Amino acid sequence: MEDKEAIEILMQLIDKGSLADKEREAVLTAVGILSWSALGQSRIKSIAKAQKAKKEWRPSENKLLK
């Protein structure tokens, strides 16, 4: 299950309003952790993409500099 899907399901549980205070707090904590996990994965992907783009660009092969 993807993090985003799990977050949506947990948020639906909160919206139902049938949770006790401690259960609601636990669900909100889980949502927070899943959110940070999703942000971390996104950050890793963007770093990898930037590194790949940097490797592909070479000034000696750039036709504008010739």
Write down the pLDDT at residue 65.
54
- Mean pLDDT over each residue of the chain, to the nearest integer: 83
Amino acid at residue number 13: L
In the chain, where the domains are located: 3-65
Q: What pTM was computed for the model?
A: 0.59
Q: Cα–chain-centroid distance for residue 10?
A: 16
Does position 37 have pLDDT exceeding 90, yes or no? no
Distance from C-alpha of 6 to C-alpha of 35, rounded to nearest angstrom:
10
Q: What percent of the chain has pLDDT over 90?
A: 24
- For the chain, the farthest-separated pair of C-alpha atoms sits apart, in whole angstroms, at 69
